[in-house]
Chain A
Amino acid sequence: MEIAAIFLPLLGAFVAGLFGRFIGDKGAQIVTCSLMVVAAILSVILFVQIGFGGPEAARTVHLFTWIDSGSFEVAWSLRMDTLTAVMLVVVNVVSCMVHIYSIGYMSHDPSKARFMSYLSLFTFMMLMLVTADNLLQMFFGWEGVGLASYLLINFWYEKKSANDASMKAFLVNRVGDFGFALGIMAIFLIFGTVQFDEIFAQVPEKANATFNFLGFEVHALTTACLLLFIGAMGKSAQLGLHTWLPDAMEGPTPVSALIHAATMVTAGVFMLARMSPLFEYAPDALAFVTVMGALTAIVAATIGMTQFDIKRVIAYSTMSQLGYMFFAIGVGAYPAAIFHLMTHAFFKALLFLGAGSVIHAMSGEQDMRNMGGVWRQIRFTYAMMWIGNLALAGIGIYGVFGFAGFYSKDIILETAYADHSWYGTMAFWLGLAAAALTAFYSWRLLFLTFHGEPRADEKVMAHVHESPLSMTIPLGILAVGAVFSGIVAYPWFVGHDLAHFWGGSILMLANAEGETIIDAAHHVPGWVPWAPTVVALAGIGFAWLFYVKSPDLPGRAVASIRQLHGIVFNKYYFDELYDALFVKPAMKLGLGLWKGGDEKVIDGFGPDGAANLTQRLSGVASRLQTGYVYHYAFVMVIGVVALIAWFFLSAR
């Protein structure tokens, strides 16, 4: 069953990719979608078995040996514990919805089979990532999803912007993978293995180990954790390695929903949660994770407020939410991070697919400045976007009912507050501020897109229509998740059943009072759980004021802080900075080394110099350089024969 849940998507990718021509577009869609439905059902069954079966239900399915070199042994295997099971459900269910949605969304595209094949390939790679029982298989899935992301961002390969974006995504991710790969090597050096259980068993005894890294005697676990986190920063678009994510919106919208919102970008969060037994012993690394996460949350939220492309706003929102997950990890609240990962997967996929439905309705328009006033024509989509927004902003009444994000965001902020460290406190306040901004840009998006006067031309407006069933049904299912996943899953993920539910898949060390960070979060002052909702409502109010009540306010506000707005609107100039620091110098250096290093220095002193020298030394040499290879070869053979002859004659 485990094998089927993971390898069916690969089968689908294979069939649709290689035989798409024979089975046709319809055939490819039917094959991939039905295989995904089966895989999704299987993963729900697995989730129930493992999540509620107690610690004994966790197991590992060994497939076969991958690499075995001396003491370095790695196997292909499927690790089944609660953490994996949660990811299985998230990945397979969202992927299944996206597969079905794509039938409608891509109905006008000529390469449907290729698209379905890539989607299924991505799903398989993501499943390999989350079921890995060692770091190297995780790296396989990690790079595999990167490949699928590259292929899908570049799906419309004739567009230059898509080419640029896909290359950027792959290369920035490779920078992260550079850290990840070094992290794996460091782990192997420290523990002599890269298999999770074997690593975790040794962590306590190696808690104070040091080793020499780049000339410094460093704390081994902290260094390894930081290297792994660099990998996570790349994949999960944390500040510094985030520049690829907004550009990745060049891909078709279902791709943005699946890869760049719900699943792949959360791989970094998953990796850190998986390595919790390691990170728990590396408090300095955790502090760094917290700071990066909190900064990402707030910076992305500010950029999100200023953008006009509907998909980019949601992309920055994703980046910001990932920041939340990371600072939750940073304060040691791994279950809270995974809880938010799960709820976020539902409501962010919903938002993206809803945005896709809008774009579909508006004949491909993505700029919100050219939208507005369409909510009557596409009421279902409008309702879905409301639900997605309510879940994202975390609206709810404490103790009664809330949308999915209400529970997961609250517990994250509570844990940050309860941590009482300087970075935890910083994360709490930045996270609270980001919550207000989140609500603001979410309703800004909603008002700009659906309300006010229509700003699109008449031709577009005449075509505005609700999407087909293949698109609306997945929206509805995801909406159910966005409404209920929080309240239903709360007790298992971060509530009373936490210990039983997670089993041994996540480690949280207890503090001096003997309670974990999640326990502590349940005892924060009474105002803390209310704060996120209050600031979110304030954010919504401001959005209403700016974009419905008095639409001239945004212009005046921007004018009053023109320079600051410019910096934020241009995304803090990260792209320009990197281009000037890395991309251009690399190209220049390459050209310089080629023309200067190879041709001038090496050849100048080497073969070309030798040629000139011999030519100047004697006319005979120049006559010998006839340019015929035979002559050179002949001379060489003669020389060899002469040398051997001389040797034998002189030796005897």
Chain B
Amino acid sequence: MADWPILTLTTFLPLVGAFFILLIRGEPDVVARNARAVALWTSLITFVISLFILANFDPSNPGFQLVEEYAWMPAYNIAYLKGVDGISIWFILASTFLTPICVLASWTSIQTRVKEFMIALLVLETMMVGMFTALDFVLFYLFFEGVLLPMFLLIGVWGGPKRVYAAYKFFLYTFIGSVLMLLAILTMYLTVGTMDMRAMLDHPFASELQLWLWVAFFIAFAVKTPIWPLHTWLPFAHVEAPTAGSVMLAGVMLKMGGYGLIRVNVQMLPEGTFYFTEFVFVLSVVAIIYTSLVALAQNDMKKMIAYSSVAHMGYVTLGIFTMNQQGMDGAIFQMLSHTIVSAALFLCIGVAYNRLHTREIDAYGGMAKNMPRYAFVFAVFMLASVGLPGTSGFVGEFLSMLGAFQVNTWVAFFAATGLVLGAAYMLLLYRKLFFGKLDKPEVKAMRDLDWKEVTTFAPLVAIVLIMGVFPASFKDVYSPTVEKILADHQASLKAAGLIKPEEAQAAGLTVTIEQPSGAVSGN
């Protein structure tokens, strides 16, 4: 274990950078230039430091590591408590990785209130890292809600023409979720007597209480994920947000929902999870089919990708609640893949938007001719989104469905229709943007990616392919934790008498293979 508070440093370093930006004074263009530089360097250093988390992390240990604990309000058993495990570590890195990319993506496209923009971005980073490292429920809640503030500002100040409606919707959904979550946290605190999340993980809550708590947390996280039908804020938020806002929203914020579902709903409330599994399956399958069809009808690039995000998150919730190794491995992998792919797709849209200032798909066409580099990059992420084997998108999607097939073939059957529908809307989008005749003069005038854009996309392309061909590089870090979560889940259910001990081995497998002819029993 590192002997320096590496998690705290990663969390608050961006805040320090934001503070320095606040101090910058002078001519507006000088301020803007300096603010960009400070933001870039701060976020890059933060990323490098966060790599030390990975370096010091022992994947074979499924428990919390690099734990930092300081007394805060000892009288109330509330502490400043941080730590990482296999589930959270990649999301921390995703936050620190995407922030410098967002700074770069906003380099020229943001020209008003640059200083404030960079501050908001860095504060957002602090909040996200803080949330994923929090092991005390008060900290968790503060950061979870804290993320919303800079995001509100990014949408509200630098957003598009309908930003007010978007922000209002965003607010209303998340507010209801927040209130319910707060009440649930307080109830849990009263029951256990501490805000230490590690204690909550071990505490067997009463069966009926679990159901109520589960519903409250589920709504809060379902809004974030988002799970159908609590998703309608997302398309608007994306459409109005500036590119960096969309990247952060899709790349990291949505994953807070999935992370919360695993950390709280699955780990702390096993009986609730057991009770509501089928319900989540139904919502997931509806999300996959429904939002894919809706995506097919969009003529706004960002809306289409936003709806595709909901569909992809459907595989995540599906995978998590299969409660078997393939399903949950797949769900987490799908989240990581979506982090990269959706972020990259929004960056791609930003490229087109910066040049033509419209998100309307029909305004483009034939760009393969004058922008071959752009066409190539976009194609890679399009294919990853479609889930082509060899890209990151396939591994998560396939494992989730494989997990689901073992639990319920209907669920896997419907989820697999996403293979066709997902391909349909993405190919349609790509075709309308890049193929056909290049006959619109303003599109013809667009220039191909410059070197700065190429350097932004290159690492993303590389990650997508590495994740697709050699997924173990990412998966082996979290798999042992998943294994432990599943084992704990089985143990809790057994203790609660929900499954018989002999079933425990085959739980998740409602399907049995009969061998009447006295053959050797397999599996």
Chain A residues proximal to chain B, CB less than 8 Å: 64-72, 76, 136, 139-140, 143-144, 147, 154, 157-158, 160, 163, 167, 170-171, 174-175, 177-178, 181-182, 184-186, 188-192, 202, 205-215, 220, 586-587, 589-591, 593-594, 597-599, 602-603, 606-607, 610-611, 625, 627-630, 632-633, 636-637, 639-640, 643-644, 647-648, 651
CB neighbours of B157 from chain A (8 A): 629
B409 touches A589 (CB 8 A): no
* Chain B residue nearest to A218 in the complex (CB): B409
Complex interface bits, B469-501 against A, C-beta within 8 A gives 1, otherwise 0: 111100110010001000000000000000000
A171 touches B513 (CB 8 A): no
B401 touches A185 (CB 8 A): yes
B232 touches A603 (CB 8 A): yes
Closest chain B CB from A116 CB (angstroms): 15
Given A69-B475, A629-B167, CB of A192 within 8 Å of CB of B420: no
- Across the interface, B406 reaches (CB within 8 A) one of A139, A189, A191, A632, namely A189
* Chain A residue nearest to B420 in the complex (CB): A174
- Sort A-B residue pairs by CB-CB distance and give the 4 closest, nearest first: A70-B325, A629-B156, A590-B297, A185-B405
CB neighbours of A644 from chain B (8 A): 182
* Chain B residue nearest to A591 in the complex (CB): B297
CB neighbours of B512 from chain A (8 A): 211
A209 touches B513 (CB 8 A): yes
A640 touches B399 (CB 8 A): no
CB neighbours of A210 from chain B (8 A): 513-514
A140 touches B390 (CB 8 A): yes
* Chain A residue nearest to B417 in the complex (CB): A178
* Chain A residue nearest to B513 in the complex (CB): A209
- Across the interface, B232 reaches (CB within 8 A) one of A64, A160, A205, A606, namely A606
Chain B residues proximal to chain A, CB less than 8 Å: 76, 145, 148-149, 152-153, 155-157, 163-164, 167-169, 171-173, 175, 178-179, 182, 186, 190, 229, 232-233, 290, 293-298, 324-326, 329-330, 366, 368-369, 383, 388-390, 395, 398-399, 401-402, 405-406, 409-410, 412-413, 416-417, 419-421, 423-424, 427-428, 431, 434-438, 469-472, 475-476, 479, 483, 510-517, 519-520, 522-523
* Chain B residue nearest to A114 in the complex (CB): B372
* Chain A residue nearest to B395 in the complex (CB): A67
A439 to B229, CA, bound (A): 59
Known: A136-B389, A157-B366, A632-B168. 13 other contacts (CB 8 A): A66-B469, A66-B470, A67-B472, A139-B389, A171-B423, A181-B401, A205-B519, A587-B297, A591-B297, A594-B294, A628-B156, A633-B152, A651-B190
Q: How many pairs of A and B residues are in contact by the CB < 8 Å rule?
A: 220
A599 to B235, CA, bound (A): 11
A167 touches B431 (CB 8 A): yes
* Chain A residue nearest to B183 in the complex (CB): A643
Given A212-B511, A594-B294, CB of A648 within 8 Å of CB of B423: no
A189 to B322, CA, bound (A): 14
Given A70-B324, A174-B420, A629-B153, CB of A144 within 8 Å of CB of B410: no
* Chain B residue nearest to A599 in the complex (CB): B232
A159 to B229, CA, bound (A): 40
Classify the interface of chain B: helix, strand, loop or mixed: helix
CB neighbours of A628 from chain B (8 A): 156, 164
* Chain B residue nearest to A603 in the complex (CB): B232
* Chain B residue nearest to A632 in the complex (CB): B171
Most buried by B among A72, A186, A212: A72
Closest chain B CB from A643 CB (angstroms): 6
A627 to B290, CA, bound (A): 31
Classify the interface of chain A: helix, strand, loop or mixed: helix
* Chain A residue nearest to B438 in the complex (CB): A158
A636 touches B513 (CB 8 A): no
CB neighbours of B383 from chain A (8 A): 147
21 chain-A/chain-B pairs, Cβ below 8 angstroms: A70-B324, A147-B388, A158-B437, A171-B424, A178-B416, A178-B419, A181-B401, A181-B419, A186-B405, A202-B522, A206-B519, A206-B522, A208-B516, A211-B513, A213-B409, A593-B290, A597-B294, A602-B232, A606-B232, A610-B172, A647-B186
B168 touches A627 (CB 8 A): yes
CB neighbours of A140 from chain B (8 A): 389-390
B402 touches A215 (CB 8 A): no
* Chain B residue nearest to A68 in the complex (CB): B472
B419 touches A586 (CB 8 A): no
Closest chain B CB from A231 CB (angstroms): 11
Closest chain A CB from B365 CB (angstroms): 10
CB neighbours of A587 from chain B (8 A): 296-297
A607 touches B233 (CB 8 A): yes
B522 touches A170 (CB 8 A): no
Closest chain B CB from A594 CB (angstroms): 4
* Chain A residue nearest to B434 in the complex (CB): A157
- Across the interface, A174 reaches (CB within 8 A) one of B368, B369, B423, namely B423
CB neighbours of A190 from chain B (8 A): 513
B232 touches A177 (CB 8 A): no
- Across the interface, A214 reaches (CB within 8 A) one of B164, B390, B410, B424, namely B410
CB neighbours of B523 from chain A (8 A): 192
Closest chain B CB from A181 CB (angstroms): 6
Closest chain A CB from B367 CB (angstroms): 10
A586 touches B296 (CB 8 A): yes
A191 to B406, CA, bound (A): 12
B424 touches A182 (CB 8 A): no
CB neighbours of B171 from chain A (8 A): 629, 632-633, 636
B423 touches A158 (CB 8 A): no
Closest chain B CB from A15 CB (angstroms): 15
Given A205-B519, A208-B516, A211-B513, CB of A633 within 8 Å of CB of B149: yes
B402 touches A185 (CB 8 A): yes
CB neighbours of B153 from chain A (8 A): 629-630, 633
A220 touches B513 (CB 8 A): yes
A644 to B182, CA, bound (A): 9
CB neighbours of A625 from chain B (8 A): 168
Most buried by B among A191, A192, A594: A594
Closest chain A CB from B122 CB (angstroms): 17
Closest chain A CB from B206 CB (angstroms): 20
Closest chain A CB from B4 CB (angstroms): 31
B513 touches A182 (CB 8 A): no
B296 touches A163 (CB 8 A): no
A402 to B293, CA, bound (A): 54
* Chain B residue nearest to A601 in the complex (CB): B229
CB neighbours of B431 from chain A (8 A): 163, 167
Given A171-B423, A211-B512, A214-B410, CB of A590 within 8 Å of CB of B293: yes
* Chain A residue nearest to B233 in the complex (CB): A607
Most buried by A among B155, B178, B419, B476: B419
A594 touches B297 (CB 8 A): yes
A206 to B153, CA, bound (A): 61
CB neighbours of B406 from chain A (8 A): 185, 188-189
A68 to B479, CA, bound (A): 10
A194 to B64, CA, bound (A): 34
Given A182-B412, A192-B522, CB of A602 within 8 Å of CB of B229: yes
A214 touches B409 (CB 8 A): yes
A607 to B190, CA, bound (A): 32
Given A182-B416, A633-B149, A636-B178, CB of A69 within 8 Å of CB of B169: no
* Chain A residue nearest to B439 in the complex (CB): A158
B155 touches A629 (CB 8 A): yes
* Chain A residue nearest to B329 in the complex (CB): A69
Most buried by A among B389, B395, B513, B514: B389
CB neighbours of A637 from chain B (8 A): 145, 149
- Across the interface, A607 reaches (CB within 8 A) one of B232, B329, B510, namely B232
- Across the interface, A144 reaches (CB within 8 A) one of B186, B229, B390, namely B390
CB neighbours of A76 from chain B (8 A): 469
A209 touches B514 (CB 8 A): yes
Closest chain B CB from A124 CB (angstroms): 11
A177 to B418, CA, bound (A): 11
A256 to B434, CA, bound (A): 23
CB neighbours of B416 from chain A (8 A): 178, 181-182
A205 to B179, CA, bound (A): 56
CB neighbours of B409 from chain A (8 A): 212-214
